[in-house]
Amino acid sequence: MHYTKEHEWILVEGDAGTIGISDYAQEQLGDIVYVELPEAGKKIAQSEQVAVVESVKAASEIYAPAGGIVTEVNEKLTGEPGTVNEDATGEGWFIKLKLSDPGEVEGLMDEAAYQDFVAGLE
């Protein structure tokens, strides 16, 4: 799993990537009440806005850690947005992509670097 400084994560398996937000991000947002996801088939560039999350505290844009074509969206979040709070790095994933360049994740943080980054924010 790789992370961005904006608290998105991507799990890369071959030329496919699953994207979501970190546990830290969902804690900061509080109770998530709405998730807006893109359509399957949409082409997304790295760092482009890919989703919107609304919580009782704020609305937040979610950006793609890597570019590609959306192959699947997590429809469960439409009816149960709180799934992101319950399991941000598992069942609370947002989208799956066919990556245009799997090498784009090379510049992202690994788990240890991300934990150090978050520790520095507190």
Q: Is residue 32 part of a domain?
A: yes
What the block records as the tokens of 67 is: 């570019």
Q: Is residue 90 part of a domain?
A: yes
CATH of the domain at 46: 2.40.50.100
How many CA atoms, within 13 angstroms, populate the side-chain half-sphere of residue 85? 16
Which helix (DSSP H) or strand (DSSP E) does residue 68 occupy?
A: strand 68-73
Task: Tell me how many domains the chain contains.
Answer: 1
Q: Is residue 120 part of a domain?
A: no
pLDDT for 80 equals 97
42, 46, 52, 55 alpha-carbon torsion, rounded to 10°: 150
Q: Is residue 68 part of a domain?
A: yes
pLDDT for 122 equals 77
Q: Is residue 121 part of a domain?
A: no
pTM value is 0.95
Furthest C-alpha separation in the chain: 38
Q: Is residue 95 part of a domain?
A: yes
Own/partner pairs, 23-28, CB within 8 angstroms, 24+ separation: 23/88, 23/89, 24/118, 25/60, 25/88, 26/84, 26/85, 26/88, 26/92
Q: Which domain holds residue 69?
A: 2-101+110-115
Task: Give the phi and the psi of residue 3 in degrees, each rounded to 5.
Answer: -130, 155
Residues of the chain with pLDDT under 50: none
What the block records as the tokens of 98 is: 């066919």
